[in-house]
Amino acid sequence: MTLSALMRPDPQQLSLFGWQVPGLCLWSNLTGWECFGCGLTRSFTYMGHLMLAEAWGMHKVGPFLWVATVLQIPLRARNLWRYRREVVLSSPPRG
């Protein structure tokens, strides 16, 4: 999520600190046609900058996946905290 906020969104090419990020889609690189996932990274980057309309324009599923991914952070932190608390409470006393 941090990376999506650090990258500069652009409809054609992404950049990170001024460096152009190459296109990683093997299908698109080989055939020149976009696959069903093309635009997802750019959509995530737009969402990282809270530009919903642009994110929606790049990929219709991107904003939903971005929100689902962001919501995983507090959920995983809560689960980790609960697990750690259970382990500490169930461990035998030291000494």
| Partners of 30 in beta bridges | none
Q: Is the pLDDT of residue 92 over 80?
A: no
The domain locations on the chain are: 2-90
End-to-end Cα distance, the chain: 43
What digits encode the pLDDT tens for the residues 7-66? 887 777 788 888 887 777 888 888 988 888 888 988 999 999 999 999 999 999 999 999
Q: DSSP character for 76?
A: H
Q: Which two tokens stand for residue 35?
A: 């696959």
Report pTM. 0.69
